[in-house]
Structure 1
Amino acid sequence: MSELLIGLCLLVVLLLVLASGMWVALSLLVVALCGMILLGNDAFGLIYATSTWGAISDWSLAALPLFIWMGEILFRTRLSKDLFEGLTPWLSRLPGQLLHVNILSCGMFAAVSGSSAATAATIGKMTLPELKRQGYDDKMAIATLAGSGTLGLLIPPSIILIVYGVAAEVSIARLFIAGALPGLMLVLMFMGYTVLWSKRNPSRVPQTKVVYSWQQKLAGLRRLVPVGILVVFVLGSIYAGLTTPTEAAAFGVIGALALALSSGSLTKQSFMSSLMGAVKTSCMILFILAGAAFLTVAMGFIGLPRMLAEEIALLELSPYMLLFYLTILFVILGCFLDGISVVVLTTSVVLPMVIQAGIDPLWFGIYIVLVVEMSQITPPVGFNLFVIQSLTGRDILYVAKAAIPFFLLLMLAVLLVTLVPEIVTWLPMTMMEG
């Protein structure tokens, strides 16, 4: 059977098993097994054992459960309340006022969570009821939360960047450094759009402005100091080369436990809940990685990555055209799969083409995360849409429609980093030279 025919058969099998509702990890295993059987290779048991062990025993992955646990601990503290009350006095005079709390709170929580869904859920529980009570436009409140919630994927420590780094064999520390400037750029773009929207729609923003004294502002700032110190310590130690991501994650867990203890949120129940939440999420991700590793080996035996790379080379696509087609592919996949599944499913096939086109794998990691961010607010299976739907009780199409401006801003960010790749590569290069 030809490589192309086997590839088409596997694609059909993948679509069928995903449509059946089977777990993504099991779907990948089934497709890989079918590929080995079609190839006539009966040593799939041994190949599965060696490939999956090699994929999930990588030392770099040790940072994954630790960062997830850090986020789970802080998820159960009063961090979201502290962020809201700490930022409010400083944003009261900015056009859009408390709408910016959504954006900045998501940005700050993303820096300790690493999860898009956890960021949107944690901040949304606090901000959406308060924004509604004060008379802010419902659609814009939802939109700022939907768009800013995706920052959890990009702003370090990002779980998906760890997964990509392991799958593509790219330094996780360099990926974290590379994600800093694009993350900051997105925060500024979201805030800029909110300012413009507020000026064009003054009737949809409460006009009663509360004047805060400097004493109140400084009191609010004190609420932000603990989490600020934790973020600076965890990320700063990585950026400065003092610790590896795994060591920084371990220190982050200790810091998160200390914050939870000092705020009175650390009980036996919250500790066990955070631990079990981290275990469940980590096992899910590792299971997907194991399935993807087996599928990668199976496709290598069949020769699909090599064949696709050769076919792409024959098309003589420019790097920009290749990225254009890949963007469409990732957005479509993101409509049906979560971000981590998209990354592990496509990296082994796409990366050879990307490298052959002369595209930096480090830059490509940030690019793919930005595109996956777009898919998080794309129906029918945008994860952030489901999270916000559960918080608001609104129809998912209502939430998706509200999030369209932020989807377009994410698209603009993808265009900017494509045209000006230094947005991604400048900081890692500068810090390496330093």
Structure 2
Amino acid sequence: MEQLLPIGIFLFVLFLLLGTGVWIGLALLGVAWVGMELFTLRPAGDAMMTVIWRSASSWTLTALPLFIWMGEILYRTRLSEDMFKGLSPWMARLPGGLLHTNVVGCTVFAAVSGSSAATLTTVGKMSIPELRKRNYPENLVIGTLAGAATLGLMIPPSLTLIVYGVTINESITKLFIAGIVPGLVLAAMFMLYVVAISRFSKDYKPDPEPEMTFAERISNSRFLIPVLLLILVVIGSMYLGYATATEAAAIGVIGALVLAATQGSLTWASFSESLLGATRTSAMIALILSGAAFLSLSMGFTGLPRGLAEWIGSMELSRFELLMMLLVFYVIIGCFLDGISSVVLTIAVVEPMIRQAGIDIIWFGIFIVVVVEMAQITPPIGFNLFVLQGMTHHEMNYIARAAFPMFLIMVVMVFVLIAFPDLATWLPENMRQTAAH
């Protein structure tokens, strides 16, 4: 196959650069530069300058730093303490008890954060000390938190979906709306696991919670009202067609600042820290996207994506076989790269394949996010595992074992998505018709 030489050169240069510890964005730029010099007559510097400017000046991309900033502001408020106060009276009555606060807390915070790491850190700071105090099994505390925090990648606003939408030139709002139902289904599957394990595990003997009246529970729920209102305004403005993803992000930032100010936790220090945190994360993602855009151009000149798509097309795989192949491919890649890097690095090659197979682009965005979520809890590079190791001081092997049931639940979720594609496609299609009327 004539494509083998370019593939070999691209992979060799990529792993060489990554192995030397070069930032992933710079590694992608380096690989693309080598490809341009070896396989084209076009000046590499001129092409790089044009592509980087085009990728960085996308108006859609402005939603990314705004949603990151919103998450950073809320991460530095008393939100986590208030969320536990509001959630625990209701969760205590469910089979499995307060372990559900990990799943529900992550689901709620995912809807205002967009980042798996920010969701994990915020909810973990709140729940780990409280659940340890009540003698919940340590492996379940860590496992449910590791798995549920990945919901930050799917439930809108999702940074991975923004990056996917920008890379594949698809509506961010439609992708956000598509992520709502699968995100809630996955959260429900995590909660069912907690219920099952609490019934059948002999080690599950947490301290019982004190009884609370219905009025006391309602009183504690007031702590949840501000963040739930923010979620409704941000997602509702997009769903009802009043705001684009970028405008909703700007509304979210203003709402988060107001929320922090009314809590009394908005100081000049927390404001500047949130701004610097958002700038650092946005700059890192922008560099990766620029490198990926240049690499896509370079690979396009070699004919590599088209050649690979034709090769896979010649294998005459069914749609299901292609998805299984991509599932294994992304799980393996996710062992070595973070989620956003996995998406931008591969989408130029994968997009022609899925279009040729007739797979819905919106649906595939949700499929890829579920698979990338798995990568967050798979060693050796699973980012959530590193965050949890820093928070709990357990060995990596222990954390990975605790998170493994959550990995299996996500595998089940992939098959649920394949069996019921309407989970991801019905809401955005319905939204489109509503907007048309």
Moved more, 81-90 or 15-24: 15-24
In the TM superposition, 1:35-46 aligns within 5 A as: 35-46=35-46
Q: 1:208 & 1:328 partners in 2: Cα distance?
A: 42
Distance 1:24 1:337 in 2: 9
| Residue in structure 2 matched with residue 27 of structure 1 by the alignment | 27
Paired residue type of 1:426 = W
Matches within 5 A, 1:15-94: 15-94=15-94
What is the rounded CA distance, in whole Å, between the counterparts of 2:103 and 2:332 in structure 1? 26
Residues 284, 2 of structure 1: alpha-carbon distance in 2 compared, 3 angstrom cutoff: same
Q: CA deviation at 1:40?
A: 4.4
Q: Residue 29 of structure 1 contacts residue 294 of structure 1 at CA under 8 Å; is this kept in 2?
A: yes
* Structure 1 residue matching 2:224: 3-state secondary structure: helix
The structural deviation recorded for 1:42 is 4.9
Equivalent positions of 1:338-349 (< 5 A) are 338-349=338-349
Matched residue type, 1:215: A
- The TM-score with structure 2 as length reference comes to 0.98
Q: How far off its partner does 1:396 sit? A: 0.8
Aligned position for 2:323: 323
d(CA) in 2 for partners of 1:2, 1:202 = 59
Within 5 Å, which residues of 2 pair with 1:1-400? 2-201=2-201, 203-400=203-400
What are the Cα deviations for residues 178-219 of structure 1, in whole angstroms up to 9, with x where unaligned? 000000001110001100100112542315232111222112
State how far apart, in whole Å, the 1-side matches of 2:328 and 2:19 are.
Answer: 20
Instruction: Tell me, yes or no, if the aligned pair for 2:134 and 2:207 is still in contact at 8 Å.
Output: no
CA apart distance, 1:3: 3.5
Q: Is the 8 A contact 1:106 1:119 kept in 2?
A: yes
Aligned partners of 2:137 and 2:203 also within 8 Å: no
Aligned partners of 1:102, 1:6: CA distance in 2, in Å? 46
Partners in 2 of 1:232 and 1:80 — Cα distance? 18
State how far apart, in whole Å, the 2-side matches of 1:394 and 1:26 are.
33
Structure 1 position 41, deviation (Å): 2.6
d(CA) in 2 for partners of 1:189 and 1:344?
Answer: 29
CA RMSD, Structure 1 to Structure 2 (Å): 1.1
TM-score (norm 1): 0.98
Equivalent residue letter for 1:210: P
1:278-325 per-residue CA deviation (whole Å, 9 max, x = no partner) reads: 111101000000000000000001110110011011101111111111
What is the rounded CA distance, in whole Å, between the counterparts of 2:176 and 2:424 in structure 1?
10
One-letter amino acid of the structure 1 residue matched with residue 388 of structure 2: I
Counterpart contact for 1:96–1:205, Cα < 8 Å: no
Provide the rounded CA distance (Å) in 1 between the counterparts of 2:19 and 2:125. 32
How far has the Cα of 1:431 moved from its partner?
1.6
Residues 92, 211 of structure 1: 8 Å contact kept: no
Higher mean C-alpha deviation, range 8-17 or range 166-175: 8-17
CA deviation map 1:162-191 (0-9, x unaligned)? 000000111100000000000000111000
Distance across 2 between alignment mates of 1:117 and 1:205: 29
Q: Separation in 2 of the partners of 1:166 and 1:11?
A: 24
1:13 CA drift (Å): 1.4
2:106/2:120 contact within 8 Å kept = yes
| SS of match in other structure, 1:103 | helix
Q: What do the CA deviations read for 1:382-416 (whole angstroms, capped 9, x no partner)? A: 00000011000000110000011110001100111
Summarize deviations over 1:68-93 as a string: whole Å, max 9, x none: 00000000001111111100011111
Q: Return the letter of the residue paired with 2:315.
A: L
Counterparts of 1:414 and 1:306 in 2: how far apart (Å)? 27
Identify unmatched segments of 5+ residues in structure 1.
Answer: none
How big is the shift at 1:6?
1.6
Cα-to-partner distance string for 1:335-384 (whole Å, 9 max, x where unaligned)? 11110000100111100000000101111100000000011000011000
Measure the CA separation in 2 of the matches of 1:344 and 1:40. 22
Letter of the aligned partner of 1:175 in structure 2? L
Write the distance in 1 (CA, Å) between the matches of 2:405 and 2:223. 31
Report if the CA contact (8 A) 2:40-2:301 is conserved.
Answer: no
CA distance in 1, matches of 2:207, 2:260: 36
Following TM superposition, by how much is the alpha carbon of 1:127 offset from its aligned partner in structure 2, in angstroms?
0.7
What is the rounded CA distance, in whole Å, between the counterparts of 2:404 and 2:202 in structure 1? 20
Please identify, of 260-269 and 1-10, the stretch whose mean Cα deviation from structure 2 is larger: 1-10
Aligned pair in 2 of structure 1 residues 248, 40: CA closer, same or farther (>3 Å)? Answer: closer
Q: How many residues align?
A: 434
Give the SS at the match of 1:98.
helix
Indicate if the aligned counterparts of 1:155 and 1:183 stay in contact, CA closer than 8 A: yes
Q: Give me the whole-angstrom Cα distance separating, in 1, the residues matched to 2:163 and 2:97.
A: 36
Give the C-alpha shift of residue 9 in structure 1: 1.2
Distance between the aligned counterparts of 2:332 and 2:199, measured in 1?
34
How far apart, CA to CA, are the structure 1 residues paired with 2:2 and 2:426?
44
Structure-2 separation of matches of 1:33 and 1:262 = 50
Q: d(CA) in 2 for partners of 1:41 and 1:416?
A: 47
SS at match of 1:140: helix
The percentage of aligned residue pairs carrying the same residue is: 54
- For the residues of structure 1 that align with 2:233 and 2:42, how far apart are their CA atoms? 51
Q: Distance in 2 between matches of 1:16 and 1:144?
A: 36
- 2:3, 2:319 → 1: CA distance? 25
Whole-angstrom distance in 1 between the partners of 2:430 and 2:406: 30
1:422 aligns with 2:422: yes
* Structure 2: segments with no counterpart, 5+ residues: none
CA distance in 2, matches of 1:58, 1:42: 24
